[in-house]
Amino acid sequence: MRKFPLLLVMMIAGVVALTSCEKGATLYDVSITVFYPEGYGTEKVASQEITVKNTLTGIEITATTDATGVAQTELEEGMYTIQATLETDDFYFNGITENLTVNTSAVNNWEIHMIASSKAGGLVLKEIYYTGSKTEAGSNYYSDQFHEIYNNSDEVVYLDGLCIGLLEPIGSSPTVWVNQDGSIMDRLPIAYHALMFPGTGQQYPIQPRTSVVLAMDAIDHKTDPLGNPLSPVNMASAQFEAFIEAPGKDTDSPQAANLIVMYTTSASMYDWLHSVNGAAVVLFRLPTGLNYASFVSNPDNFMTKPGTTSATQYFMVHKDWVIDGVECNRPEEDKRFKRLPTSVDAGWTWSLATYNSKSVRRKVEKILDGKVFYKDTNNSTNDFLIDQTPTPFVHPTSVDL
């Protein structure tokens, strides 16, 4: 693929840039080049904002490209992440490059490769409530978790055959599912249960600008004897449930349709648990369509964990099959690690604590004729509001700033 190199002029804003370097620190020349996909003109770089972050100190510098597109900057020794986003009439562009080193031996010629995503719309994860809640006795309760899926387009979409899964690793450790150059693999490992929405093809429509809720347990968690009076949600109206068949373990709510368990890495688990510390979650469709049995019977669609002797076989999903992905993470900055490639999610979102009864919710970009358009730039840092009071089944009446 032919690419268009654009040397970025780092025009550092105000005194903030000057404070990013310690007094007397040695500075090194750094150049940054942005590459756009073939077919996108170089004019799109004008006035583009770039974030340069020292990952050791946490200091961020905001830079903006000038009209010429050519310049250099100086940075002190350290580890850096550079990130860029851009919006046009039809596309969002995202790019991020991590683990960049500035020192005497490093070659400080950096690159950002931008990924384009269409604004045409489709299914998105509108809200994810994974933190759980505290009970009156002060214990932890997580059975009230839910994922809300919204049709962000103007056409009917059928949920039949839609799949959902959580990525390995679950928790706050760097992924080992990487290529030799350190980039995340094109195939993504699903941890625990890989689930599929039921249906024969057109059995479960989701109308334009409406949503459905997938509950861990589709009960009124506030009033049910098996629930938690301090839970923030009533899931009795959830249309779908992640019921895991295990005698005497998981509760099957008859009013909610059960998702199909295609495969699991842990047969002893009796709940589909989104880690309360945050897990990367993806909506995807298999290339075999509704015929998941043929997919899971093919050993080529599985891998063991790289660098380990573990015999666990992980269900591998190609990133090109992903419809939407959200990188939920921990609140501590030094424990946030990417599991999704930039083309799926260039950022991440989080709640500020576990068991705090809070969710992450996608921002409302605009409302036209009462219809909500949720923001979807494929960058959860920009697209989501953190630490929200859960609002399943409810959509805002105003735009989020």
Record the tokens describing residue 228, joined without a space.
Answer: 């938690």
In this prediction, residue 40 carries a pLDDT of: 67
Residue type at 137 in one-letter notation: A
Burial, 172: exposed, middle or buried (Cβ in 10 Å; 0-12, 13-18, 19+)?
middle
Walk me through the domains of the chain, giving residue ranges and CATH numbers: 4-117 (2.60.40.1120), 123-388 (no CATH)
User: Model confidence at 12, in pLDDT bands (50, 70, 90)?
Assistant: very low
In sequence order, which residues have a C-beta less than 8 Å from that of residue 97 and are 6 or more positions away? 81, 82, 83, 110, 111, 112, 113
Q: Is the pLDDT of residue 372 over 50?
A: yes
The residues, ordered by sequence, that sit 6+ positions from 78 with a Cβ below 8 Å of its Cβ are 54, 55, 56, 57, 101, 102
pLDDT tens across 268-296, in order?
888 999 999 999 999 999 998 899 999 99
Question: How far is C-alpha 107 from the chain's CA centre?
Answer: 31
CB distance 370 to 107 below 8 Å: no
- Asked whether the beta carbons of 314 and 168 are under 8 A apart, the reply is yes
**pLDDT at residue 32 greater than cutoff 90:** no
pLDDT at 384: 98
Does 15 score more than 50 pLDDT? no
pLDDT mean over 116-142: 91
pLDDT in tens, 200-256: 999 999 999 999 999 999 999 999 999 999 999 999 999 999 999 875 677 899 999
Q: What is the mean pLDDT of residues 109-125?
A: 80
User: What's the token pair of residue 350?
Assistant: 């989080």
The per-residue pLDDT for 172 is 84
Least reliable range by pLDDT among 27-41, 42-56, 163-177, 181-195: 42-56
Extract the runs of DSSP E, i.e. beta strands, from 244-313. Answer: 257-258, 260-264, 280-284, 302-303
> What's the rounded mean pLDDT across residues 35-62?
74
Q: What percentage of residues in the chain have a pLDDT greater than 90?
A: 63
| DSSP-assigned letter for residue 15 | H
For the cut 80, the answer to whether the pLDDT of residue 94 exceeds it is: yes
pLDDT at 68: 56
- pLDDT band of residue 34 (cuts 50, 70, 90) is confident
Residue 14, judged by CB atoms within 10 A of its CB (0-12, 13-18, 19+), counts as exposed
Q: Residue 18: what pLDDT?
A: 37
pLDDT value, residue 250? 78
Q: Over the stretch 307-352, which tens digit does the pLDDT of each residue have?
A: 999 999 999 999 999 999 999 999 998 899 999 999 999 999 999 9
Compute the residue count for the chain: 401
Convert the pLDDT of each residue in 345-370 to its tens digit.
Answer: 999 999 999 999 999 999 999 999 89
**Separation of alpha carbons 17 and 61, rounded Å:** 6
Beta pairing, strands 49-54 & 78-87: antiparallel
Mean per-residue pLDDT of the chain: 87
Strand extents, DSSP E, 231-295: 240-241, 257-258, 260-264, 280-284
| Band (2; pLDDT cuts 50, 70, 90) | very low
Distances (CA, A) of 173 to 279, 302, 336, 337: 11, 22, 8, 7
Confidence of residue 303 (pLDDT cuts 50, 70, 90): very high
Nearest-angstrom CA–CA distance, 189 and 315: 6
pTM: 0.81
pLDDT of residue 71: 45
Question: By the 8 A CB rule, do 340 and 280 touch?
Answer: yes
